[in-house]
Chains A and B, each alone.
Chain A
Amino acid sequence: MDTLLNLWSTIESWMLAFPVVIYLVKIGILLGCVFAVVAYITLAERRLLGFYQSRLGPNRVGPLGLIQPVADGLKCFLKEDIVPLNSNPLLFRLAPVFAFFPPFAGFAVFTFALPWVMPNGRTYHYSVADVDLGVLFIMAISSLGIFGLILAGWSSGSKYPLFGSLRSASQMLAYEVPLTLSVISVVMMAGSFRLSDIVAAQQAYKFYFFIPCIIGFVVYFISSVAEMNRTPFDLPEGESEIIGFHTEYSGMRFAFFFVAEYANVVFISMLAPALFLGGYDIPFVNDLALYGAHPNIVSILGVCSYAAKSTIFALFVIWVRATFPRYRYDQLLKIGWLVLLPIALANLFVVAGIKLFLLK
C-alpha cells in the first residue's frame, strides 16, 4: 500500500508539473465513455424497437448482438467515399464535421459527481472543464449543429437534400427558442450558469428543479426531442418516406451524421438530469452530510445515480419513438411556435414568481 501511494505521489507531481496531461487523460476517459455509450445506445434502440414491434432486433453479431455496433462502424468505414459531381466538395466534406463536433465538445462542461478525494488530501473533479458559463456554452454549441445540416443540404448539389435541410433548419430554429427559455427558468432558480452550481442549488433547496419548473421540464423534453430530429419530429430524417438532408452522403460520412444524432440523444439525456433531476445527487439521502464522512463512496454513488437518471431519460426517448406517429410539417411548426413558445414564456414568469414570492 505504501509503495503504491509513493508511486502515485510521483505520478501526481509529474502531472501537476504539466497540467495538460491531466486534461488529456480526462478528455481521453470522457471521449472513450461517450463513444462507448453512443455505440451501445444505437444497439439498445434497435433491440428495444424490435421488442416493441414483436421482433428480435439485431441479435446475430456476438452474444445478444453486443458486437453489432463495432460491425456497423467497420462496415461504414470500409465503404467507398462518394462526393457527387454536382456538389461543392469542400463544404460537402466540412458538413459532417459541423454536425459531429457540437455534442462531443458539449460534454466538457458536465460534472459527473462530487470530487474524489485522494488519501493525501488532493481532490479530483469529475469534469473536464467545469466553467462558469457552462449552460451558455452548451446552448451556443448545440445551435452549431444546424450549420452541419444546412451545409450538407446546400453543398450536395441536389434538389432533395436542399429541401430536406431547409425543412430541418426551420424545425430546429422553431424548437430552439422554447428549449432555451425552459433552460433559462432553471438558470434562474439556480442563479448560475455553472452546471455543478445548478446541481448544488438543487441539493441546497432539497428539491429538484423539475418541481418548480414542471412546465419547463415538459417543454424541454418535447423541444429536445425535436432538436434531436427524432420521432415524432423526425422529418429531417424520415427514414423510409421523405428525403432528408443527408441523401447524397454515404459510407463513413453518413455514419458521422448518424453518430452525431445518437451523440445528441446521449447529450440531451445527460443534460436533463443535471438541470431538472438533481444530477449526481442521490435521491432521499443528504449527500452533503454523507460526503463529509465518506467522500469517495458518495462520489461513486453519485456517478451511479447520474448514470441511472440519464439512462431512464434515454430509454424514455426511445419509448417515445416507438409509440408516437410522425407529425405533419405544418403541425410541427405550429406546435413549436404557437404552443410551446407561449407556454415556455408563461413558465418563465411562473418560476420567477415562485422564486420571488414563495422561496423568500
Chain B
Amino acid sequence: MAAYLPLGILLLIALIIVPMTMIIGRFIRPQRFEVSKLQPYECGIEVTDSPRGQMSVHFYIVAVVFLVFDVETVFLFPWAVAFDKLGLFGFIEVGIFLLLLIVAYVYAWLKGALRWEQ
C-alpha cells in the first residue's frame, strides 16, 4: 500500500495546479465585467432558446453499448494477467464469453444502434 503514497501525492498536486493558478491570477488579471460580455455564444444575436433542449436518443444508445463493452474489458483484464496460469482452459472459456458478447454486438448492429446516417 505504501507504494501508492507518492501516487496519491502526485494526484493531489495535479488536482491543485488549476485552482492555484486561477487564485494567483486573480490578483494580476483585469476584471471589467459587462452584461453583454457574459452572454453565451450565439453568433452575435440575442439568445433564442434554452440550452437544455432535447438530445438525439442516439447518444444514450452509444452510452449503453459502451457500457456493455467496457464491462467486458473489465472482465478481460484479470484473464489477461493470469493467462499463463489458465492456459488452454482460460482461452476456451474467454472464447465462449466473447462469443456471447459478439452475439449481443451483432444484435445491436442489426437493430441499428450503430448506424448514424439517416
Contact = CB atoms under 8 A, between A and B. Distances in A.
Interface of A: 20, 23-24, 26-27, 30-31, 77-87, 93, 96-97, 100-101, 104-105, 107-109, 128-132, 136-137, 156-162, 166, 169-170, 173-174, 176-177, 180-181, 184-185, 187-188, 191-193, 243, 247-248, 251-253, 256, 329-330, 333-334, 337-338, 341, 345, 348-349, 352-353, 355-356
A152 to B, nearest CB: 13
Per DSSP, are chain A's interface residues mostly helix, strand or loop, or mixed?
helix
A100 B105 CA distance: 34
Contact of B6 (A129, A251, A329): A129
Interface residues of B, number: 64
A184 B77 contact: yes
Contact of A170 (B52, B63, B80, B83): B63
A86 B25 contact: no
A131 B4 contact: yes
A81 B13 contact: no
A184 B59 contact: no
B46 interface: no
B38 A82 contact: yes
B5 A23 contact: yes
Contacts of A188: 80-81, 83
Interface string B96-118: 00100010010001000010110
A329 B116 CA distance: 9
A77 B83 contact: no
Contacts of B11: 101, 105, 108
Nearest to A173: B66
